[in-house]
């Protein structure tokens, strides 16, 4: 059962935004959401629900607003260019049997120069892994080269977070992840891959440059994930429920649905529409969507926070808008329940009210 919708802010801290809501709203939420705790990954019938509400309440349906998408910024806006930090192609010959010789040769080869971001990251991790041992070997006979090598090592350490960001959050796999089709659920493998990647990144940033063999596999799994599908589900929910809520509020401002608890045929149709479409279908999908968000977004925030020092301003802005959109959609759900509450109470449609009526009839 989903009653409260905690907010996960961009800094990864969870806040309970419903703590100031009146107690009766929790009662209404519980009553409405008690009907089903199943999850559903199908598209929500938001348009059909809003049309049926407007028809039974005999009010004009507010016009639909253009759906606002939240695609990642353009690739060029997420690029962070850095100056060259390579060891001269001639100097590396003086490294003798040093393991770094092969790393530098690979990086300066034709294939190394055209390697993708993850390939460049692995070359840099290899460089950092073997660099200091090589510098120690060179100190006695090639002190100048050893000093130059240590300078490059420090430079690569300074730029490592940026290199990691470009290969992961700024790479092609995460772009596919955020541009996926509609989905209210997430593959557990995707969560595991993001968590494993975050652990690897933490090790690299702490100076342990080993064990990157699964990098491409983890990124491949993430690229098949449905982060963008989750965003689209929240977008549709927020926009659709805003129309439905405005429809209910427009009616409520004119007259009651029921007088003195007397139910009318229109009120009974209203109840069936709410129970079938909002509770029986929309809420089922939202239950899964809410759980998916609670599973996914803390993991995403953890990864983003580890690399926030290196993220471009365009990405910072985008993820702020992304999190704000999710929160607005959650609040639209709460607002809609709040708009339904007076009508449900007027007509005695809440389960606890119906139980009291049945008890009275028994007496």
Collect all residues with Cβ–Cβ distance below 8 Å to 260 and sequence separation of at least 6.
none
Percent of the chain surpassing pLDDT 90: 52
CA distance 225 to 173: 9
Residue 41: what pLDDT? 54
Residue 50: what pLDDT? 95
* 3-class SS of residue 7: strand
Confidence grade of residue 351 (pLDDT, cut at 50, 70, 90) = low
Least confident of 182-186, 255-259, 353-357: 353-357
The sign of the torsion formed by the CA atoms of 321, 47, 178, 11 equals positive
DSSP class per residue in 218-233 = HHHHHHTS-HHHHHHH
CA distance 348 to 363: 18
Task: Count helices and strands (H / E) in the chain.
Answer: 15, 2
CA distances from 186 to 168, 220, 231, 311 (A): 19, 15, 12, 25
Residue 194: what pLDDT? 97
Confidence grade of residue 5 (pLDDT, cut at 50, 70, 90) = very low
How confident is the model over 8-52, as pLDDT tens digits?
Answer: 344 444 333 333 334 444 444 544 444 444 444 557 899 999 999
pTM given for the model: 0.80
Confidence grade of residue 7 (pLDDT, cut at 50, 70, 90) = very low
How confident is the model over 75-122, as pLDDT tens digits?
Answer: 888 887 665 555 554 455 456 667 777 777 666 665 555 568 898 899
Residue 184: what pLDDT? 81
CA distances from 256 to 56, 76, 203, 278 (A): 13, 56, 62, 21
Closest CA to 177 of 296, 289, 79, 66: 296
């Amino acid at each position: 059962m989903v009653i409260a919708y905690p907010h996960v802010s961009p800094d990864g801290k969870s806040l309970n935004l419903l703590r100031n809501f009146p107690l009766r709203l929790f009662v209404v939420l519980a009553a409405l959401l008690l009907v089903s705790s199943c999850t559903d990954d199908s598209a929500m019938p938001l348009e059909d629900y809003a049309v049926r509400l407007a028809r039974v309440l005999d009010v004009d349906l507010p016009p639909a607003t253009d759906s606002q998408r939240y695609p990642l910024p353009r690739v060029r806006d997420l690029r962070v260019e850095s100056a060259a930090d390579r060891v001269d192609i001639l100097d590396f010959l003086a490294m003798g049997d040093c393991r770094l010789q092969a790393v530098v040769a690979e990086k300066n080869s034709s294939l190394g120069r055209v390697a993708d971001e993850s390939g460049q990251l692995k070359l840099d991790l290899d460089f950092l892994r073997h660099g200091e041992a090589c510098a120690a070997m060179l100190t006695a006979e090639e002190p100048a080269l050893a000093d130059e090598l240590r300078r490059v090592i420090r430079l690569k350490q300074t730029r490592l977070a940026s290199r990691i960001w470009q290969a992961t959050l700024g790479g092609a796999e995460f772009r596919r992840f955020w541009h996926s089709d509609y989905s209210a659920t997430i593959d557990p493998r995707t969560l595991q891959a993001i968590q494993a990647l975050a652990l690897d990144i933490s090790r690299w940033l702490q100076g342990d440059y080993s064990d990157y063999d699964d990098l491409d596999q983890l990124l491949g799994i993430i690229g098949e994930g449905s982060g963008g599908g989750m965003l689209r589900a929240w977008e549709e929910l927020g926009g659709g429920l805003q129309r439905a809520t405005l429809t209910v509020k427009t009616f409520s401002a004119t007259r009651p649905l029921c007088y003195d608890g007397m139910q009318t045929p229109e009120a009974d149709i209203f109840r069936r529409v709410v129970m079938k479409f909002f509770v029986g279908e929309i809420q089922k999908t939202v239950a899964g969507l809410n759980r998916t968000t609670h599973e996914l977004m803390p993991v995403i925030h953890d990864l983003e926070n580890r690399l926030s020092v290196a993220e471009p301003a365009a990405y910072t802005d985008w993820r702020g808008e992304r999190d704000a959109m999710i929160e607005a959609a959650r609040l639209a759900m709460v607002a809609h329940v709040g708009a339904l509450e007076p009508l449900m109470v007027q007509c005695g449609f809440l389960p606890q009210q119906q139980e009291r009526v049945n008890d009275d009839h028994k007496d």
